[in-house]
């Protein structure tokens, strides 16, 4: 086996797929990248058994071969090189010699045939979506997914495709986000739950990309294809809760307020809240919103007033400030609407402006009982 590749190109691709590799793994070969040469193509693969990420580089080599090389050692070495051609040459005693401008480096390899193979997706459906829409969907929902091992279905993002729209939903039972694209649809209805880890990796990659993403899925796996890259992952097994049932339909009390002013006030006031509950109080009357917090254990308290546009009865409602901050951070609009019914019913946060045509975002946050 022999091939020549640019150090910068190789590093870029390995860093992209390297997020899949776990720091601790029960299968030692998963600490390696798989290098596979076939018809002038170098395919690079990383896997953690649940998720497999592959990408391709063009090289000049007529050979067909595959080996597994240690990921950390390779990444640490490549980071130190200025861009230059590197020659990889297979030697005796299961080693690969890497030749650079100023030196040679020997690395032990493992037989590539021992590397796990990505799941083949059969009886699948395909949806095509632009990278910026998929990024917005992941970015808007991922933070609201749960971390409870006892409720694994809530630890991912629910993809719900039908003939009218595409919906992306996440919840941890305290907060919920529903991101809808009414300008996109599929011929057949489909539902699946995507795990958090592959979505975090996709989010980082799609942020600076402008391309079409092919999403292929069946009952057990999903595959995202873009450019020369393919990410395949196992879906979360289970039925997603009926999220529509918890979204209140009647919300007569509605407040419009500047998002950044609201966010800054909540951040400041929450510093004075109880560190066990992070409870803050919103008292809305007329055109004024009063945000307050109190920590009785340390006699700390704070309150701020903001101007707002309010329609409804005077109301005092409590929220966990961390959830409000996460939600307000997840929006890009100038003004937000907070819709409420009663102090013991969920509040709905929606953007008023700066959303794409066909885009709809609804964020739900459960209230807390005020002391």
- pLDDT for residue 62 is more than 90: no
The tens digit of pLDDT for each residue in 69-99 reads: 999 999 999 999 999 999 999 998 899 999 9
Q: Which of 101, 89, 105, 111 is nearest to 4 (CA)?
A: 89
pLDDT at 186: 93
User: What sign results for the dihedral spanned by CA atoms 133, 138, 144, 150?
Assistant: positive
Which class for 150: exposed (0-12), middle (13-18), buried (19 or more C-beta within 10 A)?
Answer: exposed
Contact between 54 and 78 (Cβ < 8 Å): no
HEC profile of the chain: CEEEEEHHHHHHHHHHHHCCCCCCCCCHHHHEEEEEEECCEEEEEEECCCEEEEEEEECCCCCCEEEEEEHHHHHHHHCCCCCCEEEEEEECCCEEEEECCCCEEEEECEEHHHCCCCCCCCCCEEEEEEHHHHHHHHHHHHHHCCCCCCCHHHHCEEEEECCCCEEEEEECCCEEEEEEECCCCCCCCEEEEECHHHHHHHHHHHCCCCCEEEEEECCCEEEEEECCEEEEEECECCCCCCHHHHCCCCCCEEEEEEHHHHHHHHHHHHCCCCCCCCEEEEEEECCEEEEEEEECCCCEEEEEEEECEEECCCEEEEEEHHHHHHHHHCCCCCEEEEEECCCCCCEEEEECCCCCCCEEEEEEECEECCC
- pLDDT for residue 296 is more than 80: yes
354: confidence class by pLDDT, cuts 50, 70, 90: confident
Tell me the Ramachandran region of residue 193: left when phi exceeds 0, alpha when psi lies from -120 to 50, beta otherwise: beta
pLDDT at 355: 78
Tokens of 76: 């640490």
The tens digit of pLDDT for each residue in 142-196 reads: 999 999 888 999 999 999 999 999 999 999 999 999 999 999 999 999 999 999 9
Q: Which of 328, 330, 329 is nearest to 338 (CA)?
A: 328
- pLDDT for residue 370 is more than 90: no
pLDDT at 39: 87
pLDDT at 144: 96
**Helices 259-270 and 321-329: angle between axes, nearest 10 degrees:** 150
pLDDT at 212: 96
Contact between 112 and 34 (Cβ < 8 Å): yes
pTM for this predicted structure:
0.93
Instruction: Please give the distance of CA 34 from its chain centroid, rounded to a whole number.
Output: 25
The tens digit of pLDDT for each residue in 300-331 reads: 999 999 999 999 999 999 999 999 999 999 99
Domains with residue ranges and CATH for the chain: 2-114 (3.10.150.10), 125-245 (3.10.150.10), 248-368 (3.10.150.10)
The tens digit of pLDDT for each residue in 251-266 reads: 999 999 999 999 999 9
Which class for 60: exposed (0-12), middle (13-18), buried (19 or more C-beta within 10 A)?
Answer: exposed
């Amino acid at each position: 086996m022999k091939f020549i590749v640019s150090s910068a190109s190789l590093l870029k691709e390995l860093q992209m797929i390297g997020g899949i590799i776990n720091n601790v793994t029960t299968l030692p070969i998963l600490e390696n990248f798989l290098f596979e040469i076939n018809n002038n193509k170098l395919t690079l693969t990383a896997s953690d058994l649940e998720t497999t990420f592959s990408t391709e580089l063009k090289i000049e080599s007529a050979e067909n071969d595959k080996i597994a090389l240690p990921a950390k050692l390779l990444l640490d070495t490549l980071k130190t090189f200025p861009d230059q051609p590197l020659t990889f040459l297979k030697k005796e005693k299961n080693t690969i010699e890497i030749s650079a401008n100023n030196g040679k480096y020997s690395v032990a390899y493992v037989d590539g045939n021992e590397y796990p193979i990505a799941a083949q997706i059969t009886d699948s459906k395909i949806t095509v979506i632009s990278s910026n829409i998929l990024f917005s969907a992941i970015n808007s929902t991922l933070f609201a997914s749960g971390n409870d091992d006892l409720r694994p279905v809530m630890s991912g993002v629910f993809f719900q495709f039908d003939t009218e729209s595409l919906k992306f939903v996440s919840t941890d039972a305290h907060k919920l986000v529903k991101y809808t694209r009414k300008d996109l649809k599929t011929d057949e209805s489909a539902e699946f739950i995507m795990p958090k880890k592959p979505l975090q990796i996709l989010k980082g990659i799609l942020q600076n990309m402008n391309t079409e993403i092919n999403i292929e899925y069946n009952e057990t796996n999903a595959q995202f294809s873009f450019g020369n890259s393919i990410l395949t992952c196992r879906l979360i097994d289970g039925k997603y809760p009926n999220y529509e049932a918890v979204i209140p339909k009647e919300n007569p009390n509605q407040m419009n307020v500047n998002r950044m002013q609201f966010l800054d006030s909540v951040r400041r006031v929450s510093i004075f809240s109880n560190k066990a509950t992070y409870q803050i109080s919103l008292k809305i009357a007329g055109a004024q919103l009063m945000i307050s917090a109190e920590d009785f254990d340390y006699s700390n308290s704070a309150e701020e007033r903001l101007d707002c546009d309010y329609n409804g009865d005077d109301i005092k409602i409590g929220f966990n400030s961390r959830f409000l901050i996460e939600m307000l951070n997840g929006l890009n609009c100038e003004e937000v609407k907070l819709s409420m019914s009663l102090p013991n019913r969920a509040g709905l946060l929606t953007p008023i402006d700066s959303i794409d045509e066909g885009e709809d975002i609804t964020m739900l946050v459960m209230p807390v009982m005020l002391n």
